[in-house]
Amino acid sequence: MKKYNVAVVGVGAVGIEMLRVLKQRNFPVGNLKVLARSAREIDVDGVKYKVEEIRPQAFEGIDIALFAGTEGEKGAAVTYAPEAIKRGAVVIDNGADFRMDPKVPLVVPEVNASDVKKHKGIIANPNCSTIQMVVALEPIHKKAGIKRVVVTTLQASSGAGKGAVQQRKEESKLICSGGFDNIHVKTENKSMPQQLAYNVFPHIGSFVEDDYTNEEWKLVKETRKIMHDDKIKISGTTVRVPVRTGHSESVYIETKKPLSPEKAREILSKAPGVIVIDDPKKNLYPMPKDAEGRDETFVGRIRRDPFVKNGLWLWVVADNLRKGAATNAVQIAEELIKNY
């Protein structure tokens, strides 16, 4: 089997997961370079990796460069992706800088794998909440057509980086040590706009057009691009929740053709990358604690809207660091070497 020289850029939460996923999926790695803003050594599950300082020359001989786009490395792709491409590498970028560039394919392999062939040196990895939603929507869209989506995302602290994870830990510790009479705490580590422990707040990203956040607009624009359909009406609310890892989404859809919940379950149970867990009478439905460490997208609570024709509800859960970032990027690389 041919092997490929791979660079992983960034050693935050997503970069670490990229290293795990490459190993777990037996990606045919020849030479592996790990690049970040400063040189050091890191340990991932007992395996030590030498981290080199990122510089243009580091991409010499690299076939595929995976940019993690993680905290502390944001914007690295803008500076170094052209340098990597110039030296013959194909860049797969997890950041937001290239996603809506019309010349850059935005890929979720279960949905639009063939778009990989359109690349001109760079392929964009979508936003974590978009990825799991389109994996669940595409099989239904193919069968019945989707004309409208209303989604509320419940996004874990790890989606906001190490600072948010640490803030949640510190706040939880203070609340538990002081009793539950006072759940309002302030910590030195404040990466979130609001208290995260024992709280939820509808604010991810910055507020932009029509008082939606840019995270909410990503759901609209990225979904349309990936699914090749600018006519789907999409509206979302993104919510930060005190979960460590695993995004959950309450997704309401209106289909063009009638589709029963039973048929939707059948379609989704056969869809690539989807696991249906849907037996509410036995308290069985997807939860983030069960999705953590998994690469699949889990779907449950599939039910019709009793008041709107062709209305259907889905509950969608996935590990935001894996399928929402690292795994999807490695899957793109797998598609790249397999077919293109």
Give the catalytic positions in this structure.
Answer: 128, 247
Q: Which two tokens stand for residue 70?
A: 């993680």
Strand, helix or coil for residue 267: helix
Residue 111 CA: distances (Å) to CA of 102, 170, 191, 311: 18, 39, 34, 22
Burial of 275 per CB tally in 10 Å (0-12, 13-18, 19+):
middle
Label residues 183-207 b or e (16+ Cβ within 10 Å = b). eebebeeebbeebbbebeeebbbee
Task: Count Cα neighbours of 40 within 13 Å in the Cβ-side half-sphere.
Answer: 7
Distance CA 77, CA 91 (A): 9
Distance CA 237, CA 198 (A): 19
Tokens 């690049």 belong to which residue? 35
Distance CA 66, CA 8 (A): 5
In 3D, which of 320, 338, 293 has the Cα closest to residue 27? Answer: 338
What is the longest distance spanned by two Cα atoms in the chain? 61
Pairing of strands 247-255, 146-155: antiparallel
DSSP E strands in 94-243: the ranges are 122-124, 146-155, 233-240
Say how many C-beta atoms besides its own lie within 10 A of residue 79's C-beta: 10
